[in-house]
């Protein structure tokens, strides 16, 4: 055997161990995270009798400002805003922030709510572009619409924060679907623990569900297999990753569709980063960073119960775009907050959750793609044995299916998001295809996210939020 | 096949790792399935329990039923949640009868037992029950909860302590107040409003005398629940001597501070815009016809909030019509005053 043959053999064997090791680590970690969270699931199971009784927390609720940032033309904006006023919560206001050049969104709201221009002066607590005008509705006094100079989703949220009057701000996207009690179930985290500064929720798939007056009445799966696979991936991400990290307060990813923050905490860190690809993800990472640096006790909670749904893309191209957008948002959030990694007092979030998320969710698609390419090409070139290819496939896809089944069964037994057993059967079947095919294909979509962002963002990236000490 | 797998280190590792992961997954699935099953069985039982106890508690409002079924440990939470609902909905003798029922069923010891659990809802219902029962034996544990970090539980425990013994609870409130910025002043005022004013007056005055300036505004706000005769001289002394804007604002908000112009007008030139804003609000509730010029002066203040409150106060004056407000808008030469009147007139029209 020549030296080069030995070298090649060592390199091939090392790569085999590396890639197999990655997948064992990935699926093992997700299983471990699910095990961490499963104990607290018991507390989340609310009995029928408890629902029949008045809420014990009644009278202690905190008023909430719901901010609806609109950064692109949205046909469903008016019905969504109307539906927010049906939320079962004692005191809240709705602030719609129109952050687009065209007047379609505004005219839609003007027609629906008979908006009138209102000479409201505006208090700038965090940086945001100029608000041209404020509108109010004679019909709904708790509704305000801000029409502002476009500045991106983060800028729109900041404008909403400036206009918010209540101590809790809730960000709700117009493409999300809620339940009447969504807000009531999210806000108690702030009541139960004074150190709670943020709370996010699990995100479910709305395609195919019965939606009445903007609220989800019955969750059902649509007939599109692409949607089933996204539903499976979504359950896995929420129940085997986010919730597991949230238990020790190390959750870095959160759904930007419906989440709540303590306004004071957001203002203290300067609001959303206006140049961020996904301002909510970036904000969560920055809240961790800002609070760990000064060693302040804080908590970012996660509600695993189904209170939020969204219409998932139903064509391959749209799925790909969505994946690329999610990936670049997370990648950007972690890059901007890289000081969190092993930073001072960064604890579990900086020492474990940050590198884990970076490895499995940011670099993960690239690693998975390299791994599959290596094993398949290696087998074709006779560098990797058939046995090792099978072992790798079992490890990468087989264990992945098991973890996805775990998430689906936890949801079926604890939350019953879908009422029919048939929906769960479909999800269990689609988990096989999601792990053996779909997941590998969509890794291609995530790759553009690894590249530097487009030039038009470059200038804006120089802007950084002003980090102020809490005493400022 | 397994022989081949075990001879190859990579396959061997994957095999065992997969087996371990699979065992953990199966264990979690069985655990959650059992949770579901348990939840379902308990749910059916609890609904039956509610349908059995609702009529009995309803009957208690008129007379304590001769026969009361035993409430078993698993039903304590549902019973106490229902009992508290009834207790909050009735007054007078009906409350005493409900209390008698709870004591006959030994729900005081049940609540004490629930207090030791980790579940927030269990603890909350227990705290509320012990407060309604006036349970002296639970004083120490309720005090510990009131001093704890959970906002909702600590507020509920504080209320329970006031229901048990207002004087002792007052001492706890005053000793913790400085450190408890998470206790909303409005909720504290609600708790104190349920107490006899004479119980709280002296304690608040004594606490205010030794309080650091940052704690004083809250104490002054709580004095709304105290005896006017006791706190008024103190408040007048503070308003005369203090330079601190937060303290002055708290005094101006107090219902025990007389709102005559002699007291108020000097503050229109206060260097603090927050004080001037408060004055604009207070003047609106206290001026008579012919004194509108005081508010009109404030329409040209350099701070937006002062102008806004002054305009709002003007618009709300019962003797100052919308037409007069609109005429005033065109008479004023100050652009800021015109703008703020535009906004307030628009707001008034919206309403």
| Phi, psi of A200, deg, nearest 5 | -120, 175
Residues of chain A with C-beta less than 8 angstroms from the C-beta of B33: 409, 413
Residues of chain A with C-beta less than 8 angstroms from the C-beta of B151: 60, 191-194
A262-303 pLDDT tens trace: 999 999 999 999 899 999 999 999 999 999 999 999 999 999
Residues of chain B with C-beta less than 8 angstroms from the C-beta of A35: 24, 28
Q: Is B186 exposed, middle or buried (0-12, 13-18, 19+ CB in 10 A)?
A: exposed
Residues of chain B with C-beta less than 8 angstroms from the C-beta of A121: 304, 308, 343
Rounded distance between C-alpha atoms, residue B131 and residue B139, angstroms: 9
Give the confidence band of A468 by pLDDT, cuts at 50, 70, 90: very low
- A38:B31 CB<8 A: yes
**A260 touches B: beta carbon within 8 Å:** no
- A49:B78 CB<8 A: yes
**A51 touches B: beta carbon within 8 Å:** no
Rounded distance between C-alpha atoms, residue A398 and residue A395, angstroms: 6
B40-44: long-range contacts, CB 8 A cutoff, minimum separation 24: B42/A47, B42/B74, B43/A47, B43/A48, B43/A49, B44/A48
ipTM of the complex: 0.85
- What is the mean predicted confidence (pLDDT) over A257-261? 96
Tell me if A89 sits within 8 A of A61, measured CB to CB.
yes
- B46:A34 CB<8 A: no
**B23 touches A: beta carbon within 8 Å:** no
Rounded distance between C-alpha atoms, residue A163 and residue A131, angstroms: 10
> Mind telling me how many Å the CA of B260 is from chain A's nearest CA?
31
> Mind telling me how many Å the CA of A353 is from chain B's nearest CA?
20
B42-47: long-range contacts, CB 8 A cutoff, minimum separation 24: B42/A47, B42/B74, B43/A47, B43/A48, B43/A49, B44/A48, B45/B74, B45/B75, B46/A47, B46/A48, B46/A49, B46/A50, B46/B75, B46/B78, B47/A48, B47/A49, B47/A52
CA angle A36, A41, A46 (to 5 degrees): 170
**A49 touches B: beta carbon within 8 Å:** yes
Give the confidence band of A135 by pLDDT, cuts at 50, 70, 90: very high
pLDDT for residue A416 is more than 50 = yes
pLDDT for residue A50 is more than 80 = no
> Mind telling me how many Å the CA of A275 is from chain B's nearest CA?
31
Tell me if B24 sits within 8 A of A29, measured CB to CB.
no
Pick the residue from chain A with its C-alpha nearest to B349. Answer: A138
More confident residue, A58 or A67: A67
Q: In this predicted structure, what is the pLDDT of residue A46?
A: 58
Tell me if B238 sits within 8 A of B213, measured CB to CB.
no
Q: In this predicted structure, what is the pLDDT of residue A458?
A: 37
> Mind telling me how many Å the CA of B55 is from chain A's nearest CA?
15
| Block residue for tokens 């609904």 | B47
Q: In this predicted structure, what is the pLDDT of residue A452?
A: 43
- A53:B85 CB<8 A: yes
Task: Determine which of B22, B28, B31, B74 to mutate to test the interface with A (most A C-beta atoms within 10 Å).
Answer: B28
| Phi, psi of A459, deg, nearest 5 | -65, -40
**B16 touches A: beta carbon within 8 Å:** no
**A56 touches B: beta carbon within 8 Å:** yes
pLDDT for residue A385 is more than 50 = yes
Rounded distance between C-alpha atoms, residue B252 and residue B275, angstroms: 8
> Mind telling me how many Å the CA of A390 is from chain B's nearest CA?
9
Pick the residue from chain B with its C-alpha nearest to A117. Answer: B346
Residues of chain A with C-beta less than 8 angstroms from the C-beta of B39: 45, 47
Q: How many CB pairs under 8 A join A and B?
A: 148
- A41:B32 CB<8 A: yes
- B350:A31 CB<8 A: no
> Which residue in A398, A330, A394 sits closest to A360, CA to CA?
A330
A315-359 pLDDT tens trace: 988 998 888 889 999 999 999 999 999 888 888 999 999 999 999
B78-96 pLDDT tens trace: 999 999 999 988 888 999 9
Q: In this predicted structure, what is the pLDDT of residue A137?
A: 83
Tell me if A281 sits within 8 A of A331, measured CB to CB.
no
**A210 touches B: beta carbon within 8 Å:** no
- What is the mean predicted confidence (pLDDT) over A420-431? 94
- A394:B33 CB<8 A: no
- What is the mean predicted confidence (pLDDT) over A126-155? 90
Q: In this predicted structure, what is the pLDDT of residue A470?
A: 31
Rounded distance between C-alpha atoms, residue B83 and residue B56, angstroms: 11
Q: Which domains does chain B have, with CATH numbers?
A: 45-65+75-172 (no CATH), 196-258 (no CATH), 262-351 (1.25.10)
Reduced to 3 states, what is the DSSP secondary structure of residue A133?
Answer: strand
**B194 touches A: beta carbon within 8 Å:** no
β-strand pairing of A196-201 with A258-262? antiparallel
Q: In this predicted structure, what is the pLDDT of residue B2?
A: 54
Q: What is the largest CA-CA distance in chain A?
A: 86
Rounded distance between C-alpha atoms, residue A163 and residue A146, angstroms: 9
pLDDT for residue A236 is more than 80 = yes
- A42:B35 CB<8 A: yes
**Residue ranges of chain B with per-residue pLDDT less than 50:** none
- What is the mean predicted confidence (pLDDT) over A456-472? 35
Pick the residue from chain B with its C-alpha nearest to A193. Answer: B150
Q: In this predicted structure, what is the pLDDT of residue B38?
A: 86
Q: In this predicted structure, what is the pLDDT of residue A431?
A: 96
């Amino acid at each position: 055997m020549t030296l080069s043959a030995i070298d090649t053999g060592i390199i091939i064997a090392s790569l085999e161990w590396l890639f197999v090791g990655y997948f064992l680590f990935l699926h093992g970690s997700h299983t471990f995270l699910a095990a961490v969270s499963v104990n607290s699931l018991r507390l989340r199971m609310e009995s029928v009798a408890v629902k029949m009784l008045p809420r014990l927390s009644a009278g202690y609720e905190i008023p909430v400002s719901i901010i609806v940032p609109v950064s692109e033309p949205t046909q469903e904006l008016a019905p969504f805003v109307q539906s927010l006023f049906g939320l079962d919560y004692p005191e809240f206001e709705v602030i719609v922030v129109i952050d687009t050049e065209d007047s379609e969104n505004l005219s839609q709201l003007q027609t629906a709510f008979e908006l009138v221009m209102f000479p409201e002066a505006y208090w700038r607590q965090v940086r945001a572009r100029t608000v041209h005008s404020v509108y109010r509705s004679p019909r709904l006094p708790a509704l305000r619409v801000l029409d502002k100079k476009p500045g991106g989703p983060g800028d729109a949220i900041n404008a909403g924060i400036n206009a918010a009057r209540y101590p809790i701000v809730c960000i709700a996207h117009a493409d999300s679907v809620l339940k009447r009690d969504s807000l009531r179930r999210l806000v108690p985290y702030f009541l139960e623990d004074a150190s709670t500064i943020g709370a996010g929720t699990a995100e479910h798939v709305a395609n195919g569900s019965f939606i009445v007056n903007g609220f989800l009445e019955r969750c059902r799966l649509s007939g599109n297999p692409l949607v089933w696979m996204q539903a499976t991936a979504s359950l896995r991400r929420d129940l085997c990753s986010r919730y597991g990290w949230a238990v020790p307060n190390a959750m870095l990813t959160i759904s930007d569709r419906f989440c709540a923050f303590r306004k004071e905490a957001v203002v203290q860190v300067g609001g959303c980063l206006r140049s961020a690809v996904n301002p909510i993800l970036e904000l969560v990472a920055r809240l961790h960073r800002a609070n760990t640096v000064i060693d302040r006790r804080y908590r970012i909670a996660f509600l695993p119960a189904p209170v939020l749904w969204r219409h998932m893309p139903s064509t391959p191209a749209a799925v790909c775009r969505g994946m690329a957008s999610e990936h670049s948002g997370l990648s950007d959030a972690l890059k901007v907050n890289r000081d969190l990694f092993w930073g001072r007092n960064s604890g579990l979030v900086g020492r474990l959750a940050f590198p884990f998320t970076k490895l499995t969710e940011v670099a993960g698609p690239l690693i998975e793609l390299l791994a599959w390419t290596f094993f398949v090409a290696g087998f074709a070139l006779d560098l990797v044995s058939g046995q090792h290819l099978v072992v790798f496939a079992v490890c990468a896809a087989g264990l992945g299916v098991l973890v996805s089944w775990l998430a689906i069964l936890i949801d079926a037994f604890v939350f019953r998001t879908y009422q029919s057993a048939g929906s769960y059967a479909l999800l269990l079947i689609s988990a096989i295809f999601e792990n053996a095919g779909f997941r590998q294909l969509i890794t291609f979509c995530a790759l553009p996210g690894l590249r530097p962002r487009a030039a038009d963002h470059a200038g804006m990236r120089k802007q950084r939020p002003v980090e102020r000490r809490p005493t400022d | 096949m397994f022989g081949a797998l075990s001879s190859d280190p990579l396959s061997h590792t994957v095999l065992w790792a997969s087996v371990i992961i699979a065992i953990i997954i199966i264990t979690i699935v069985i655990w959650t399935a059992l949770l579901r099953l348990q939840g379902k069985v308990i749910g059916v039982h609890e609904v039956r329990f509610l349908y059995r106890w609702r009529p009995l508690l309803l009957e208690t409002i008129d007379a304590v039923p001769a026969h009361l079924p035993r409430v078993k440990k698993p039903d304590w939470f549902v019973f106490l949640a229902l009992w508290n609902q009834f207790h909050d909905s009735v007054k007078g003798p009906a409350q005493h009868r409900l209390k008698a029922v709870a004591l006959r069923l030994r729900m005081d010891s049940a609540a004490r037992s629930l207090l030791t659990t980790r579940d927030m809802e269990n603890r909350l219902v227990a705290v509320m029950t012990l407060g309604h029962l006036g349970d002296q034996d639970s004083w120490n544990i309720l005090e510990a909860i009131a001093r704890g970090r959970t906002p909702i539980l600590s507020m509920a425990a504080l209320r329970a302590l006031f229901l048990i013994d207002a004087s002792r609870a007052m001492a706890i409130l005053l000793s913790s107040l400085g450190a408890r910025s998470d206790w909303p002043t409005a909720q504290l005022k609600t708790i104190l409003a349920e107490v006899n004013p004479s119980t709280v007056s002296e304690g608040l005055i004594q606490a205010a005398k030794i309080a650091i300036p940052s704690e004083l505004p809250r104490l002054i706000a709580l004095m709304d629940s105290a005896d006017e005769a006791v706190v008024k001289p103190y408040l007048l002394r503070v308003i005369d001597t203090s330079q601190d804007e937060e303290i002055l604002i708290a005094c101006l908000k107090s219902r025990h501070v007389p709102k005559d112009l002699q007291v108020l007008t000097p503050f229109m030139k206060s260097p603090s815009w927050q004080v001037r804003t408060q004055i604009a609000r207070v003047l609106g509730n206290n001026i008579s016809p012919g004194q509108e010029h005081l508010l009109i002066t404030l329409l040209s203040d350099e701070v937006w909030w002062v102008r806004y409150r002054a305009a709002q106060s003007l618009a709300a004056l019962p003797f100052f019509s919308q037409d007069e407000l609109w005429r005033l808008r065109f008479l004023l030469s100050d652009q800021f005053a015109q703008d703020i009147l535009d906004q307030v007139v628009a707001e008034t029209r919206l309403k």
